[in-house]
Amino acid sequence: MYIINSMRKIKAKSVINKQYNIIERKEECDITYWYIIPEHMNSKEIYSENNKIGFAIQYFRKKYHISQNKLCKGLCSAATLSRIESGERDADAFLLETLLERMGQSPNKFELILTEDDKDFIQRREEIQNQLDKKEFTTAYELLSTYNNLVDSGGNVHKQFVKRTEAQLNELQGGTAKKTVELLNEAIIFTVPDFKTHNIKDYYLSNTELNIK
């Protein structure tokens, strides 16, 4: 067996869930770590399987009794989630992270292997934030426009990032609060199309989605 996760060694009790090949490790401080353990796989197969982690998403979804439709609402179709869970389809890291966070799981507990596209988008996001920190707003707008063009037909998680950043730019440049709120509302609707504040307890939201509202 191989444990696909590089974390500090700890004294912990382990409980193996054989159906999903997942080990729950519990520290003395009651923080639970999840290790994905594919069996009978060589390093190349492990690399491929770790990039998908669909079976872990399925494990947590069933553990918390969440339907596919509720979990993936605004992110992808239930059919797409089903293919991700069964390992038949790859998904970008941003979608996988959102799915995990909607179930209260930190993506940092998993060793996500990034594709070249994932790395590219991460670098672009970091550069945009870097320009915002330096108050280089013109450059930030240009970089955000390029990012938007790249994801024009892409996933809602990326589109949400664009709108959320536009809201941040508006606020940093002294725009009206009303405009900022409008942009944030547009951002949340990308992944929660029927969002209503008074019904917030009915949604499964990621950290990013919660921070928007």
Find the length of the chain. 213
Residues 122 and 103 reside in one and the same domain? no
Residues 168 and 105 reside in one and the same domain? no
pLDDT of residue 29: 37
Portion of the chain with pLDDT greater than 90, in percent: 51
pLDDT tens digits for range 76-130:
999 999 998 987 777 888 999 999 999 999 887 776 767 788 889 999 999 999 9
Domain end point (choices 94, 109, 124): 109
Q: What pTM did the predictor assign?
A: 0.74
pLDDT of residue 118: 87
Residues 163 and 184 reside in one and the same domain? yes
Query: Which residue is listed with tokens 């990308």?
Result: 190
48 has a pLDDT exceeding 70: no
Query: Per mean pLDDT, which range of 16-30, 68-82, 168-182 is the poorest?
Result: 16-30
Cβ proximity of 109 and 5 under 8 Å: yes
Number of domains in the chain: 2
How many other C-beta atoms can be found within 10 angstroms of the C-beta atom of residue 171?
16
Residues 125 and 195 reside in one and the same domain? yes
Gap between the Cα atoms of 97 and 123, Å rounded = 17
Q: Which domain holds residue 187?
A: 116-212
Average pLDDT value over all residues in the chain: 78
**Residue 19: which CATH number?**
1.10.260.40
81 contact partners, CB below 8 Å, separation of at least 6: 57, 68, 71, 72, 75, 99
Gap between the Cα atoms of 194 and 73, Å rounded = 10
Gap between the Cα atoms of 153 and 185, Å rounded = 20
Higher pLDDT, 91 or 57: 57
143 pLDDT band, cuts 50/70/90, is: very high
42 has a pLDDT exceeding 80: no
> What is the rounded average pLDDT of the residues 65-71?
96
46 has a pLDDT exceeding 90: no
Gap between the Cα atoms of 9 and 102, Å rounded = 27
> Nearest Cα to 76, choosing from 155, 190, 150, 185?
155
E strand residue ranges, 130-206: none
Q: What is the DSSP letter of 89?
A: S
Residues 30 and 58 reside in one and the same domain? yes
